[in-house]
Structure 1
């Protein structure tokens, strides 16, 4: 029987294999076309806080199917295992677990945005106006 990790230990474990990026690095990688930003936040959070222009909105429950290059349900952007997805959640916790799952699916470059959408907004990077929805 495997000893229980607990969420904090699990989070530390998965983050140990991620090369997490800060908001400015994520923005530059998106602008250069080297990475795709993947927003996994629920609709309610996106409506309340806004969205990152150009980010792919993919609900967490279908994330692996949409980004796995071998999945018949994949998005067109997910055509190679060399895809560099940067996963974004609200504060940078769920995104770490999701990025690790993408690595397990066969996307070795998958990572997440440290601090999540909150860090993106705090860095003064572009966001949609949540009231515009």
Structure 2
């Protein structure tokens, strides 16, 4: 059996409210390690280093942080994981999302993967979910 997190054996995940299913796997695109996120017929890409960077930021933050998921075209609420995932002050100096037009939703899709990997704890409420580092 192949290792989980590959295209042949994807990570099967649910959004933080546990309302929708999606899949992710690690891949390489243009020489860069990426996380491929497949939501229905939509494919999003995130820089793979976001997992370590977000974990380090959450450790330094030391408490629960609101996810604040938003589409790329909408502003992210200040002080949220989504805002950090597109901030010029994060370690990559901007978006962790790599597919123009689909760079948002960082706060929706990356946190459940971090939970699955044992890097973070999430709340699973209908709205306003939060996460913290493990």
Tell me the TM-score normalized by structure 1: 0.31
| Greater C-alpha radius of gyration | 1
RCO comparison, higher one (Cα < 8 Å, 6+):
1
Tell me the TM-score normalized by structure 2: 0.31
Which structure features the higher share of strand residues?
2
